[in-house]
Structure 1
Amino acid sequence: MRRRNILKLIVLVLAVAAAVALSIPKLSNPTSGIPLGLDLRGGVHLVLQAQPGANGKPITKDDMDKAKAIIAKRVNELGVSEPVVQADYQKDRIIVDLAGIKDPNKAVEVLKTTAQLTIRDPKGKILMQGDELKDAQASQDPSQGYVVNLTFTPAGAQKFAAITKEYLGQRIGIYLDNRVLTDPKVNVVIPNGQAEITGYSTLQDAANDAVLMRSGALPVSMTIAEKREVGASLGVDSLHRSINAGIYGLAFIFLFMLVFYRLPGVVADFSLIVYALIVLWVLWLFHAVLTLEGIAGFILSIGMAVDFNIIIYERVKEEIRLGKSLRAAVESGFSRAFITVIDAHVTTLITAVTLYVLGTGTIQGFALTLGIGILASLFTAITFTRTVLRWVVGINPQTNTRWYGVRREA
């Protein structure tokens, strides 16, 4: 039995060491690791204010839902990693956080543009609108330079064919809002629903217009109510400060557990490493965005995990003082602490769920990491720590109780 427990502990230590060695480069990788939020990576925070129409028509919840969906689609088309797009229905605002964006000003223009695509006759009369557009893709044409290729729906293709037939030999304009994209002369009837917009100076300009066309027009016009840029250097500095705070805090916790609980403290410290790995891998698997508030929730959950271990070990120490054997003291101590630990986990988890459901943005980030941390803490405190401590006691059940932080009276 003793050799078996020693073997189990060796295998476990090696497995955790391998997991740590694998996790550090994997989870910290800027591209494939845990995505960082705006405050840690830098980027731009936008508040877009919806404007009532010229006729004074009020903005409805349906308008806001459509605007949010279209802006979210535009953000995804821009290739921004883990964006945050939220609607504030009471103030008719769309809140957007774009982390790691390279050209904030260009992104802002793309997001706030109404992007109503129209085809007009030489006098400016609207002949066709963008809701009949199926796709728009930017490309480079050897003869035309940078272009946007338009593809219409079947119904749109028929309408476009009729327009090119009616205005054969004349110019028709393709507009994005009130900006003329192109006004070519119609030389032939176009029956296949294909059109080409030329005259772009860069492929990025063509791609930006293509994004606007593909995502559709906003149901209401938007203005910028707030714009706040977070520099990449500031985000990196915040990340380094958070990491340093976490390292110092963990070092103090590890030392505290070793001094006051001796051998069980070693088990608790080992469990904390496993706990941290579980939380970080869960965040990575669910593509959660890590923010300063999320790091705060993570550190808070670490403190609670330590607190649960302290509750359990104090119960174990009480059982040892009553004269029980180490094996019996461990089992009785965990049993006595079980209800207390469960109650603390459940109440804190309810708080985390409430914050996540009712909160927004950074509050949700805090609640998410706190909730994941509580569930991971429940596993490590009740299952993992108990199992490892059983193996430790099984190696030598007659170990001097001083190794468990207890001095028995002679």
Structure 2
Amino acid sequence: MLQFDLWKRVAIWLTCAVGLWLALPNAFYTRVEQHNDAAAAIAVAGSTPELEAQLSRWPDWMPSGLVNLGLDLRGGAHLLAEVKVADVYASRMEAAWPEIRDALRPERATIGTIRLQPSAPDEIRIRISQPEGMERALDVVRGLARPVQTLTGVGANDIEVRGEDDEIVVTLSEAEKLASDERTVQQSLEIIRRRIDEVGTREPTIQRQGADRILIQVPGIGSASELKAIIGTTAQLTFNPVVTRGTDPDAAPGIGNKIVPSLDDPGVYYTIESAPVVTGEELVDAQPSYDQNGRPAVSFRFNTSGARKFGNYTAENIGSPFAIVLDDEVVSAPVIQSHIPGGSGIITGNFDLAESTNLAILLRAGALPAGLEFLEERTIGPELGQDSIDAGKVATIVASIAVLVFMLVSYGLFGLFANVALVINIGLIFGLLSLVGATLTLPGIAGIVLTVGMAVDANVLVFERIREELHTAKGPARAIELGYEKALSAIIDANITTLITAVILFVMGSGPVRGFAITLGFGIVTSVFTAIYVTRLLIVMWFRARRPKTIEV
């Protein structure tokens, strides 16, 4: 008869206490947020009096996990970018030329001289002076082909080689283009994520849409233009040999060369070799620093491979200028004074401190493999987010009051027990959201409001079953016990089907749909727990204390 073991009572109340304890920081959101920001800043840059003051606004022994606010609640920036995957084809062909040239040089006795010819961006054309050696030349270049490293490209090579009169034509195969497109988009996703993480924003949404588009939503950032400045720069850093320096941008650069402008000297143009000696992909670190004159600069360090190539080139070209090129602009072109071993150096220019810091972030996160074209951009102000929060609060309060009044009027004292469980249920939802670091969006608030309405369903089923059992004159204790036993299957069936729907929404949906699914799923779990255990325990405690001869539900 209405037995609850002591360990069960302790476990139920302990679960409720832990959930409400985890949810507590959300009641002091601004204070806890400042505490967390200060703790993160101290871990990175050290302590300051201002940061210590912010850190002391919330006790360290208290939980500090918060429910992160989504873009529609906090304000921020929304971008939809298209990755220019075709840009990679040209750079692949450009990078392949030195390897092809070195492979053909030993065959000059058979094929004669070799000259790079003007060609489309996604191909290389090489003229040989002895066309009768074409077959040998094609065999040599085909020997440089590598298998495509994807399941869909099994059996295919990365390049296709053919001869046209006295020219060798090298292009990427279709299988390699597909594989390259996939790698480019995935790499762009990862680099964008790293760049945004470097800035320290909370809970950004960065996900792929379609074949070559990326959706970026960052709460708390000032504007879409600020976000574009962080992620829109390709930041392709290369170190190229300088051929000449001049003022004519339309001069003929020569085969294998290109003309790029100077970043610091308007009107000055450098002719550089297209194939770089070292690229930014071989950087392992970049930090803002100062040059010997105290001006902001960026210091860098290469990995082992890059350091070796950098050291070998500087040893063999002392007295020659060497261009540091960022996104097809010469940042500086110093003359190599001596051998530079160790693979470290410094980039100087007309930077201010903010620009050098931003450049270091971009280089440290890595270069985007291709440019981005922004198809859609929106800035959502914090005022609109606050309006959404206020509207969500009003909706939740109205729904909660309506449900509480309905339960109290319909079921009296038992309805009061259900209302206490409902308040605990909402606290448990926020405790779970804080525990997993979930992001709350406007649809997520809708999920909580829906949960408030659904949370009493289980109690309604139980109370109606108790009413029916009371008519059999089995006594109040037995009626309560049978009411819970007979309603249990219906409660589980109804909530499992809703939980399955929430899981499907989470797996198949994206963005706001997933936010709705998360709060709905957590709400189902907590509402079943509070209905089956918390409300029942409250009724049992009341019944054992009062021992009523009759009850009214």
Structure 1 length normalisation: TM-score?
0.89
The answer to whether residue 276 in structure 2 is matched with residue 276 in structure 1 is no
| Mapping 1:335-354, distance limit 5 Å | 335-354=485-504
CA offset at residue 21 of structure 1? 8.2
| Mapping 1:5-404, distance limit 5 Å | 23-26=23-26, 28-30=28-30, 31=33, 32=64, 33-53=66-86, 55=121, 60-90=181-211, 92-102=212-222, 104-123=224-243, 124-125=272-273, 126-140=276-290, 143-398=293-548, 400-402=550-552, 404=553
| Partner-residue secondary structure (3-state), 1:60 | helix
The structure-2 alpha-carbon separation of the partners of 1:223 and 1:213, relative to structure 1 and needing over 3 Å to count, comes to same
| Partner-residue secondary structure (3-state), 2:234 | coil
Letter in 1 for 2:331: L
How far apart, CA to CA, are the structure 2 residues paired with 1:14 and 1:63? 50
The structure-2 alpha-carbon separation of the partners of 1:323 and 1:143, relative to structure 1 and needing over 3 Å to count, comes to farther
How far apart, CA to CA, are the structure 2 residues paired with 1:236 and 1:202? 35
Moved more, 214-223 or 23-32: 23-32
Letter in 2 for 1:45: H
CA offset at residue 130 of structure 1? 1.3
- Say if 1:115 and 1:176, in contact at 8 Å, map to a contact too: yes
CA offset at residue 211 of structure 1? 2.0
| Partner-residue secondary structure (3-state), 2:438 | coil
The structure-2 alpha-carbon separation of the partners of 1:119 and 1:285, relative to structure 1 and needing over 3 Å to count, comes to same
CA offset at residue 26 of structure 1? 4.2
Question: Aligned residue pairs: how many?
Answer: 398
Report the structure number with the largest CA radius of gyration: 2
The structure-2 alpha-carbon separation of the partners of 1:395 and 1:107, relative to structure 1 and needing over 3 Å to count, comes to same
How far apart, CA to CA, are the structure 1 residues paired with 2:23 and 2:436? 16
- Residue in structure 2 matched with residue 408 of structure 1 by the alignment: none
CA offset at residue 185 of structure 1? 3.0
CA offset at residue 361 of structure 1? 1.1
- Say if 2:224 and 2:378, in contact at 8 Å, map to a contact too: no
CA offset at residue 37 of structure 1? 0.4
Letter in 2 for 1:110: I
How far apart, CA to CA, are the structure 2 residues paired with 1:308 and 1:15? 20
- Say if 2:76 and 2:223, in contact at 8 Å, map to a contact too: no
Letter in 2 for 1:69: E
- Say if 2:297 and 2:349, in contact at 8 Å, map to a contact too: yes
- Say if 1:352 and 1:370, in contact at 8 Å, map to a contact too: yes
- Say if 1:64 and 1:89, in contact at 8 Å, map to a contact too: no
How far apart, CA to CA, are the structure 2 residues paired with 1:67 and 1:388? 55
Aligned residues: CA RMSD = 2.8
CA offset at residue 327 of structure 1? 1.5
Letter in 1 for 2:29: N
The structure-2 alpha-carbon separation of the partners of 1:390 and 1:60, relative to structure 1 and needing over 3 Å to count, comes to same
Moved more, 152-161 or 165-174: 165-174
How far apart, CA to CA, are the structure 2 residues paired with 1:348 and 1:267? 24
| Partner-residue secondary structure (3-state), 1:144 | coil
How far apart, CA to CA, are the structure 2 residues paired with 1:19 and 1:381? 16
CA offset at residue 325 of structure 1? 2.0
| Partner-residue secondary structure (3-state), 1:121 | strand
CA offset at residue 246 of structure 1? 0.6
The structure-2 alpha-carbon separation of the partners of 1:202 and 1:331, relative to structure 1 and needing over 3 Å to count, comes to farther
The structure-2 alpha-carbon separation of the partners of 1:229 and 1:281, relative to structure 1 and needing over 3 Å to count, comes to same
- Say if 1:170 and 1:185, in contact at 8 Å, map to a contact too: yes
Q: What are the Cα deviations for residues 46-84 of structure 1, in whole angstroms up to 9, with x where unaligned?
A: 101122425465663332222111111111112111111
Structure 2 length normalisation: TM-score?
0.67
Moved more, 149-158 or 46-55: 46-55
The structure-2 alpha-carbon separation of the partners of 1:27 and 1:208, relative to structure 1 and needing over 3 Å to count, comes to farther
Identity value in percent: 37
How far apart, CA to CA, are the structure 1 residues paired with 2:351 and 2:391? 43
- Say if 1:200 and 1:206, in contact at 8 Å, map to a contact too: no
CA offset at residue 187 of structure 1? 2.6
CA offset at residue 199 of structure 1? 2.8
How far apart, CA to CA, are the structure 2 residues paired with 1:179 and 1:263? 76
CA offset at residue 399 of structure 1? 5.6
- Say if 1:40 and 1:238, in contact at 8 Å, map to a contact too: yes
Letter in 2 for 1:199: G
Letter in 2 for 1:146: P
Q: What are the Cα deviations for residues 326-360 of structure 1, in whole angstroms up to 9, with x where unaligned?
A: 22111111111101110011101111111111111
